[in-house]
Chain A
Amino acid sequence: MTKSSARRYINRELSWLEFNQRILEQAQDETIPLLERLKFLTIVSSNLDEFFMVRVGGLQSLATRKTHKTDPAGMTPLQQLNAIAERTSRMVSDQYACYTQSIEPALEKADIRRKRAAELSDRHREHIRHVFEQEIFPLLSPIAVPSTSDLPLLLNRALHLCVRLKPAARSRKPRYAVVPLARQLSRLVTLPSEGGYEFILIEDLVYTMLAQLFPGLSIVECVPFRITRNADMSVREDLAGDLLAEMTEVLEERKRSDCVRLEVDQGASSGLLTFLQRSLRAPKNSIHRVEGPIDITGLSHLTDLRGHKQLHYEPWSAVQSPDVASDKKVFETLTARSILLYHPYERFDPVVRLLEEAADDPDVVAIKQILYRTSRKSPIIDALIRASEKGKYVTALVELKARFDEARNIEWAQGLQDAGVQVVYGVKGLKTHAKLMMIVRREPTGLRRYIHFGTGNYNEVTARLYSDVSYLTCDPDLATDSTMFFNAITGYSQPQRFRRIEMAPLTLRERVIEQIENEIERKKQGQKAFVRAKMNSLADPGVIRALYAASKAGVSVQLNIRGICCLRPGVDGMSENITVTSIVDRFLEHARILHFCNGGKDLVFISTADWMPRNLDRRVELLVPVEDAESRNKLLGILDICFKDSVNAWQLLSNGTYQRVGAGRKRKGIRAQEALYREAQERVRHAQHLQRTTFEVHRPQE
């Protein structure tokens, strides 16, 4: 590890782990309702799963190849793996401490009780026997493993039991068997209860009935375990994109030893553990001994339990933006003004409504739409199909590589094609991450193009959980740019210079750096200068260098970055003018908003791109200026609130760890998400109030 690199950059994996730590701290936060805390705890687990499959998997392959190429922070793959092992083991033990010492007891108090084998009543036992015989037994197929080389391929991330049996007669060698707990089995089995909710975990249940699986054999030990495998890199390019080039060469050799994590119950004997480790060829630092249920994500069903309102966040329902008139077509509203929506505080339906109106409008000629991840029963897809059937030219760019959604994407892509929609699968070698919809409509004055730029997916479900920006406009310059953007990604034309927008991987990074340099230049000339930006991740060395230069020049840089941040803030002579905060709260912060002082003529952009090499070099992304005053001011207001959060915000310290903003003091002050929610509600009330001061009279129809 070189000192100067480490001083300049924070390792991206460790930074990501710090993000997961902040989620864990939400779970530990007793001011948050219990089931929400449990949900945060399960998110910590599912995040780690993905992290191990993709990031650790990639690093391990590199390490086996003895690659000494270092990351920007100067760490070799092996150094990174060691640091990750150290950090995750601490995190996992904190996570389980939280579960066993805080959450489980609290659940019990709330009458949600987990029963262990030893705690079962006769009634419970009878019920269990019944369930086991009827529903579970047929799905279990224990596998005897005579030697460590005989272990068959085990399912990735699935729960298994490892059973040690007494040695056969005249032998001292223990015998082992593995019982896969099939995916179809529910992790929680509800027990008959006198009051409250009682459940048993499937591994505990099977344990009590184990004798039935091994008749006539004597069981010495039974422990649950789970392995996590290196993901298939060829499809998961989004997650390990920066490793991809080197990865492809090692894909083959990797297949042999692809266990990146082995989780085993704390109580496992050393003999059993050695057996598992050898059979799975699990590297030493991949073993995690877990004190509590393996794979906490299985408990997420508890958060769906009915009748525990007080254990959840108070419901925040999204408002219908008063800017979108309900009695007019969205087209008409947009002809008069552009509209900016901030989800999930404001509803996503105006976007869906625009598309639905377009499908039925006789003057709409063409619709173009990028689909990345969309919901299962999507009104967006329905509208596209209807539009095509009504004779409009509909083009859909379907990104098949969307993480873990490939199968679903292929399925509805076929449906679109059958309806006559022209379906394109995006640009070779690049993942299309931009969110764009365009509607071409004939109007008396000419063709008008209506555009929707988003920072989030066209998915009404995630639009209720992610904070994202929608910008709806018919600005002619943005319209022309959007048309040319579509022509570029559908192959009708080579990319050309745009008027207003920037596109990755072409000019987006350059433009961002140019704007940062512009601030530096203005500062040098004695003007006011600052950069404010909100995004999910910052890892691009080029942009980070520009930000350091800005800091050195005295430009104030305020960053609100939810996840990874490789920039090291607050270091004298390098980054003392940079602050980084992160908000982790009930909604997933997802919008990317950039604000440059620009000598007082604020430049504000929304974007789909995080500042990471994978986004700037290997994805099709958009950077869109928001220039109309109302929308721009709304974005500035959102940024203001985000930077004021002192309840659920963390500040990144120069040592790479995070500290709650206002730590040590009583946590009072502004909670950004709540403030945004209240503000959205207030805006609606205000608009209704305004309406009430003028009377609109119902008149008989003429």
Chain B
Amino acid sequence: MPELQNKNMTPPPDMSWRPVAVIDIGSTAIRMTVAQVDSDGRITPLESLKQAVALGRDTFVKGRIDRSTIEEAVRALNSFRHVLQEYQITSDDQIRAVATTAVCEAENRTTFFDRVYIATGIKVSPVNEVDATRLTYLSTRSLLKSHASLSRGNVVIAEVGGGSTELVYMHEGKVLVSQVYRLGSLRLRESLEGFRSPVIKSRDLMENQIQTTVALIRKSISTEGGTTLLAVGGDARLAASELTPGWEEEGYARLSVQEIGRFTEQVLKLSVNEIVRSFHMSFPDAETLGPALLFYYRLTRALKATTIRVADVSMRQGLLLELARHNVFDPDYHELIIRSAREICKKYLADEAHSIHVSELAISIFEELKQEHHMGRWNEVLLRVAAILHDIGTFVSPRNHHKHSMYLIQNSNIFGLNRRDQLIVSLVARYHRRSPPKSTHSEYRAMDRERRIDIVKLAAILRVADALDRSLSQRVRNISFAREPGRFVITVPGVDDLTLEQMALQSKGSMFEDVYGMSVVLRAQRGTAI
């Protein structure tokens, strides 16, 4: 990072906390939150900053970001950098900067990322759909946890952003659908301006576009037994502040559908100037307020909810959680990921019992080999997901099904995994049979060295686990392990004849030997047959 000022401060003493920062480059503003994280992963926000930069207006109208707007973004980020410097936030694991649709959809996004990096030293990564829904969910998670009533029955978490709307649909705490819709408040506003339509007409057009998307959402969500709508995002927060001052104490606000309806009508009647004055907003924010509220209102109506809850959170909370989590064990969250993988497994009619069993065997081997592979909790989750999904390619064809598994995984929406995680999982699944990784495999070659090694380590384990359930009957269970010179001995109780598994191991075990330097030996434990 380029130096601002040369301050020779004494290095921080060894402390049990570290400052971190997340930056979110959105369609109307660039925002940063600075927080400190203690050794238990607890996050205490210290400050948040915001600079209006109208990136979305460029992208949604012209498809690209003007050079002058890029420079505005650079200026905003440079002013944030002063603050980062004060907190001595300098290393990559202390800062995460992401850009959402306004940048990601711009045809010159690479120029944007490069220019920002050159001028500010800040590495910005694009947020794709999977990331966005994951972050939306993560940001609301502690709220959902602390208010049990919020996660009962059907819960829809919605964030109407400038360029897109993220939606997470949960039932009894399980994430069933997570989806991104290409309709956002700013996109709505800009598309109307494109029509150059009179004011009254533009309201109709806006309603039309919203209704189309709302209908699409309606299709994928069940409203049986009532639905709770949890709104996330600046526009919803503003409505909450206007309608129920002091709501932040609670963590969320509850607005009746009538209240939000009336407020929406009130806002839509105001000019942008009037909104700026009445609500002390910046101009870009004021432009999106009306369309966003209308969207929330229509969505509440369509979901037949009587109230809309507004969470006092933003995507940055999600980003912070991820930064803080950094190898912290988080069983609830991992469970959500596994559930999402199982939904996909079901969808492609794979042998679920087999898949689950393989994943359990794989995990027991993973645990046993901790000293050898030195991999953390997160890789364990990835291995589990890969095991659950390794056979979904058979849906397309049993022939080369490992390859079908790979692309199906790459194009599925697995909740909680980012793009890179998903690639790793797809490759681990791919290498569960047949050819080991080769330099001609482009996806594999595209990974960095560290990830490539992780993939091989995980795939080797998956191969052994898969071989152990070659019978597809889950008869190999309660296995125990032992080490002999050059050999990794798996003892299987209750099975006399392990020929099938032995044969499978012969064709699949060599990768294990290559990676871990031990050959796998299967032993039946006699006399304990049940």
Contacts and interface: CB of A to CB of B under 8 A. Distances in A.
B9 interface: yes
Contacts of B51: 493-494
A391 B9 contact: yes
Nearest to A445: B17
A496 B5 CA distance: 27
B275 to A, nearest CB: 15
Nearest to B7: A391
B7 A392 contact: yes
A446 B83 contact: no
Q: Which of B36, B45, B47, B87 has the most CB of A within 10 A?
A: B47
Contacts of A445: 16-17, 38
A495 interface: yes
Contact of B19 (A363, A444, A447, A497): A447
B282 A494 contact: yes
B205 to A, nearest CB: 30
Q: Which of A363, A444, A494, A514 has the most CB of B within 10 A?
A: A494
B189 to A, nearest CB: 20
B88 A365 contact: yes
A434 to B, nearest CB: 17
Interface stretch (A31-39, A290-298, A484-492, A539-547): A484-492
B146 interface: no
A483 interface: yes
Interface string A435-474: 0000010101111000000000000000000000000000
B248 A499 contact: yes
Chain A contact patch, size range: 20 to 34
A444 B45 contact: no
B10 interface: yes
B7 A446 contact: no
Contact of B49 (A420, A487, A499, A506): A487
Contact of A483 (B13, B47, B80, B82): B47
Contacts of A484: 47-49
A363 B11 CA distance: 9
A391 B46 contact: no
Nearest to A486: B47
A148 interface: no
A266 interface: no
Contacts of B49: 484, 487, 492-493
Interface in A372-423: 391-393, 420, 422
B525 interface: no
Interface string B2-30: 00010111101101110100000000010
B128 interface: no
A480 interface: yes
A440 B282 CA distance: 29
B251 to A, nearest CB: 13
Contacts of A496: 48, 50
A669 interface: no
Nearest to B30: A493
Given A365-B88, A446-B38, A492 B13 contact: no
Nearest to B10: A362
B7 A442 contact: no
Contacts of B80: 492
Contact of A506 (B9, B16, B86, B280): B280
A480 B17 contact: no
B411 interface: no
Given A446-B38, A497-B241, A480 B87 contact: no
Interface of A, secondary structure class, is loop
A446 B17 contact: yes
B87 A365 contact: yes
Nearest to A499: B248
B83 A365 contact: no
A447 B12 CA distance: 11
Contact of A442 (B12, B29, B85): B12
Q: Which of A447, A480, A506 has the most CB of B within 10 A?
A: A447
B241 A494 contact: no
Nearest to A449: B46
B44 interface: yes
Interface string B38-68: 1000001111111110000000000000000
A442 B15 contact: yes
Contact of B36 (A446, A491, A494, A514): A446
B79 interface: yes
B420 to A, nearest CB: 31
Contacts of A257: none
Nearest to A420: B5
Contacts of B17: 445-446
A94 to B, nearest CB: 47
A487 B280 contact: no
Contact of B7 (A393, A444, A491, A499): A393
Contact of A365 (B13, B47, B86): B86
A480 B45 contact: yes
Interface in A486-524: 487, 491-497, 499, 506-507, 514
A676 interface: no
A447 B46 contact: yes
A23 interface: no
A44 interface: no
Contacts of B45: 480
A514 B50 CA distance: 27
A391 B87 contact: no
Nearest to A495: B280
Nearest to A365: B86
Contacts of B47: 480, 483-484, 487
B13 A442 contact: yes
A7 B9 CA distance: 63
Contacts of B280: 495, 506-507
A54 interface: no
Nearest to A481: B47
A447 B45 CA distance: 11
A440 B16 contact: no
A477 B10 CA distance: 28
A366 B79 CA distance: 16
A393 B10 contact: no
B9 A447 contact: no
A670 to B, nearest CB: 38
Nearest to B37: A446
Contacts of B85: 393
B86 A366 contact: yes
Contact of B15 (A422, A444, A493, A495): A444
B235 to A, nearest CB: 13
A437 B280 CA distance: 25
Contact of A393 (B15, B36, B44, B86): B86
Contact of A391 (B8, B12, B48, B79): B8
A597 to B, nearest CB: 18
Nearest to B78: A492
A480 B86 contact: no
Nearest to B79: A492
A74 B461 CA distance: 88
B274 to A, nearest CB: 16
A480 B46 contact: yes
A428 to B, nearest CB: 16
Contacts of A447: 19, 36, 46, 87
Nearest to B245: A514
15 contacts: A391-B7, A393-B85, A393-B86, A422-B82, A446-B17, A447-B19, A447-B36, A476-B44, A480-B46, A491-B79, A492-B49, A492-B83, A493-B79, A494-B52, A506-B280
Interface of B: 5, 7-10, 12-13, 15-17, 19, 29, 32, 36, 38, 44-52, 79-80, 82-83, 85-88, 241, 245, 248, 280, 282
Given A480-B46, A484-B47, A492-B83, 16 more contacts: A365-B88, A392-B9, A393-B7, A393-B85, A422-B5, A440-B86, A444-B15, A446-B15, A447-B46, A480-B45, A483-B47, A492-B49, A493-B32, A493-B49, A496-B50, A514-B245
Task: List 9 A-B pairs, minimum CB-CB distance, nearest first.
Answer: A493-B49, A483-B47, A391-B9, A393-B86, A391-B7, A366-B86, A446-B36, A391-B8, A446-B17
